[in-house]
Amino acid sequence: MALLRRLAAALPLLASLALVGCASDDGTIQSQKLSAIKARGSLICGVDGKSPGFSFVGPDGSYSGLDVDVCKAVAAALFGDPTKVDFRDLNSSERFAALASGEVDLLSRNTTYTLSRDAAGGNGLSFAPTVFYDGQGVMVPNASGIKTLKDLAGKPICVETGTTTELNLADRMRELNTAYTPLKFQTGDQTYAAYLQGRCVAVTSDRSQLAAKRTSFPDPAAHTVLPDVLSKEPLSPATVNADPAWADAVRWTVYALMQAEEIGITQANVDAKVAEAKASTNLADLRRFLGVEGDFGQQLGLPANFVVQVVKAVGNYGEIFERNVGTGSPLKIERGLNRQWKQGGLIYSPPFR
């Protein structure tokens, strides 16, 4: 019994030693997660695996998508090799348990950043910057001539029942003082089938979902997603709260993608930019960002040139967006809120200094 009691007393101490990453006196990073991943030699990344444009398995057995590219970026930051990722498909109910139990190192699975998921008293996650600002949208046939939500007055709208989508639509239309007829369906498939049959003049869901569904329509170009956004769905990668050093490494890898786009570093020109930075000592910002001088990498527990490795592997944020979900992809989602802040969007990296 005495032994048990002593063990019990020691447990919190052991746990804090094991779980909490901290910088030791000589400035090197101690993070259990980071060292575990480095020792393992690969990152374990939880993805959805069945989400068009965000994560799916291609015919050759490789994963692709925007969420997948975030995993690859982190692997490239750690190892200089985007292929050093083990993907785990997780459904929405098991994703947080898988993260908490340490089964996955990083969750990159179109997860909405909310208070209860972030709070220590809630799911206790640590969110990386939002990589896709999604939100509920409304799709209409071009021929209907509808341009705004107000134009939907008195018209039937197809909506999946029992979802927040249904509630958001009702709230927003009440705010606008616009009466409409909701046509409710049990499943997404029924909802879109009814829309295509013309039983309603609009269908509502998350904008990324609308875009994905639209590609399977007989004539995708004949349908438009209205500019109105009915809800906030910031989709962000997440790690556990307990290891801040690991969370920082992920956070700044994502910021690096955004910063690279802002200052015009692409997959194609990154080598030239490094050469440029090495040649001129005047380009202090660029030199620090690309790891030519300074110790940003070391402060995060990453290689000095982690930004170069990341951009070489997956490109900058804009390239990732265009390739997977943007106008260069079958989904054809407009950048919208996901533009750089200088273009009026929300993609904004804090300074690398």
Partner 1 sequence: MDSPLLRRLRRDLFATPLDGLISIVLVVALAASAAGLLHWALVQAQWAVIQANSTLFAVGRYPLDQQWRLWLLTILLAAATGLSWGLLRALPRPDRPARLWPFNDRLAAVLLAGLALGLPLLLRLGTAIQLRWWVITALLLLARWAAGRWGRRIPDPVRRWIPLIWPLLYLLGMVLISGGLGLVNVSPSEWGGLLLTLLEASFAILLCFPLGVLLALGRRSALPLLRWGAVLYIEFIRGAPLITLLFLGQNILGFLLPGGLAPERVWRAAWVLTFFAAAYVAEAVRSGLAAVPLGQLEAARSLGLAMPQALIHVVLPQALRVALPATVGQFITLLQDTTLLSLIGLLDLLGTARTVMANPAFLGKNAEVYLVLAVLFWGCCAALGLGSRALETRLNTHSTAKA
> Of 96 and 255, which has the nearer Cβ to partner 1?
96
Q: Are 50 and 67 in contact (CB under 8 A)?
A: no
- 328 near partner 1, rule: CB under 8 A: no
Among 217, 276, 298, 352, binds partner 1 (CB under 8 A): 217
Sheet architecture: strand order including 125-127 = 85-89, 43-47, 106-107, 238-240, 125-127
Residues 312, 80: Cα–Cα separation, whole Å: 9
Asked whether the beta carbons of 133 and 337 are under 8 A apart, the reply is yes
Nearer to partner 1, 51 or 111 (CB): 51
What is the token pair recorded at 48?
């959805």
Side-chain-side CA neighbours of residue 146 (13 Å): 26
Find the shortest distance in angstroms from Cβ 104 to partner 1: 10
Site for partner 1 contains 61 (CB under 8 A): yes
- Contact between 124 and partner 1 by CB under 8 A: the answer reads no
- Contact between 56 and partner 1 per CB under 8 A: yes
Q: Is 57 in the site for partner 1 (CB under 8 A)?
A: yes
Q: Determine, following the binding rule CB under 8 A, whether residue 55 of this chain makes contact with partner 1.
A: yes
Site membership for partner 1, residue 50 (CB under 8 A): yes
Report the distance separating Cα 81 and Cα 20, nearest Å. Answer: 27
Which member of 216, 269, 281, 327 binds partner 1 (CB under 8 A)?
Answer: 216
Q: Among residues 208 and 316, whose Cβ is nearest to partner 1?
A: 208
In the range 154-183, which residues lie near partner 1 by CB under 8 A? none
Handedness of CA 226, 229, 231, 237 (dihedral sign): positive
**DSSP-assigned letter for residue 347:** B
Interacting span for partner 1 (CB under 8 A) from 93-101, 242-250, 251-259, 278-286: 93-101
Q: Is 97 in the site for partner 1 (CB under 8 A)?
A: yes
Contacts of 273 (CB under 8 A, 6+ apart): 265, 286, 290
The tokens for 319 are 């390239």
Residues lying near partner 1 in the complex (CB under 8 A): 49-53, 55-62, 86-91, 93-94, 97-98, 100-103, 189, 212-213, 215-217, 329-331
